[in-house]
Amino acid sequence: MPVVEDLFLKTAEADEAETMAAIVALEFVDEQTTAISRERLSEGLRHVLSRRAMADLVIRRLAKWKDWSALPRMVELFKTADRRNMFVRAPVINYLRACPLPEAKTQLQELEKMDPAVAERAKLLF
């Protein structure tokens, strides 16, 4: 896992196709084996949240795996999104919708007010 993280998940220099392949491989490991705990897999995927162009690829997986530790990072991603990565907002809204933590509901209300159009679009994807 440390090698995959260092080569494909942590570094912005990693090729996007290779990073995507690593993400798919980790999802396969989760679904087909017990070799690596889901918590450890989630920890690896959270590194991708720092890569603006690819963050949306892991948000759904983190929600599916019920990794709510990324909640503060999700809110930050939404608030700092610009025209180059605005596409991250709808997955963040849906992550917050799935999250059972009270803080998520509070943050969701705030983010829905910031961008009501994205909040509506996200409902279609939820």
Q: What type of residue sits at position 12?
A: A
Distance from chain centroid for Cα 62 = 6
Q: What type of residue sits at position 7?
A: L
In angstroms, the CA 111 to CA 92 distance is 9
Domains held by the chain: number: 1
Question: Average model confidence (pLDDT) for the chain?
Answer: 95
Residue 126, pLDDT above cutoff 70: no
Identify the domain containing residue 42 by its residue range: 2-125
In angstroms, the CA 51 to CA 27 distance is 19
Mean pLDDT for 59-78 is: 96
pTM: 0.91
Per-residue pLDDT tens digits for 91-119? 999 999 999 999 999 999 999 999 999 99
What are the structure tokens assigned to 101, written together?
Answer: 């933590």
